[in-house]
Amino acid sequence: MEKYERIRVVGRGAFGIVHLCLRKADQKLVIIKQIPVEQMTKEERQAAQNECQVLKLLNHPNVIEYYENFLEDKALMIAMEYAPGGTLAEFIQKRCNSLLEEETILHFFVQILLALHHVHTHLILHRDLKTQNILLDKHRMVVKIGDFGISKILSSKSKAYTVVGTPCYISPELCEGKPYNQKSDIWALGCVLYELASLKRAFEAANLPALVLKIMSGTFAPISDRYSPELRQLVLSLLSLEPAQRPPLSHIMAQPLCIRALLNLHTDLGSVCMRRAEKFLATGPPIAPGSTGSRTTSARCRGVPRGPAQPAIPPPLSSVYAWGGGLSAPLRLPMLNTEVVQVATGRTQKAGVTRSGRLILWEAPPLGAGGGALLPGAVEQQQPQFISRFLEGQSGVTIKHVACGDLFTACLTG
Domain boundaries, the chain: 4-81, 88-269, 273-304+315-367+383-414
Look at residue 179 in the predicted model and tell me its pLDDT: 73
Between 299 and 350, the higher pLDDT residue = 350
DSSP symbols for 276-311:
PPSS---SSPPPPTT-TT----HHHHTT----SPPP
Lowest mean pLDDT among 25-34, 176-185, 297-306: 297-306
Reported as half-sphere exposure (CB side, CA atoms, 13 A), residue 147 has a value of 20
Q: Provide Rg for the chain, Cα atoms.
A: 28
Lowest mean pLDDT among 5-9, 17-21, 24-28, 40-44: 40-44
CATH 3.40.50.1110 applies to domain 4-81:
no
33 annotated as a binding-site residue: yes
Lowest mean pLDDT among 68-82, 173-187, 311-325: 311-325
Residue 75's pLDDT band, with cuts at 50, 70 and 90, is confident
Residue 161 has pLDDT above 50, yes or no: no
Cβ-contact 400, 353 below 8 angstroms: yes
Average pLDDT, the chain: 79
- 42: three-class secondary structure by DSSP: helix
Cβ-contact 384, 283 below 8 angstroms: no
Lowest mean pLDDT among 33-37, 85-89, 255-259, 282-286: 282-286
Q: Can you tell me the mean pLDDT for 380-395?
A: 72
Choosing from 128, 185, 225, 406, which is the catalytic residue? 128
pLDDT tens digits for 234-278? 999 999 999 999 999 999 999 999 998 898 886 655 555 555 444
Provide CB contacts within 8 A for 94, sequence distance 6+. none
Give domain 88-269's CATH superfamily.
Transferase(Phosphotransferase) domain 1 (1.10.510.10)
Residue 188 has pLDDT above 60, yes or no: yes
Provide CB contacts within 8 A for 188, sequence distance 6+. 126, 128, 129, 130, 165, 169, 171
185 is catalytic: no
Look at residue 327 in the predicted model and tell me its pLDDT: 61
For the chain, what percent of residues have pLDDT higher than 70? 75
Residue 156 has pLDDT above 50, yes or no: no
Provide CB contacts within 8 A for 297, sequence distance 6+. 319
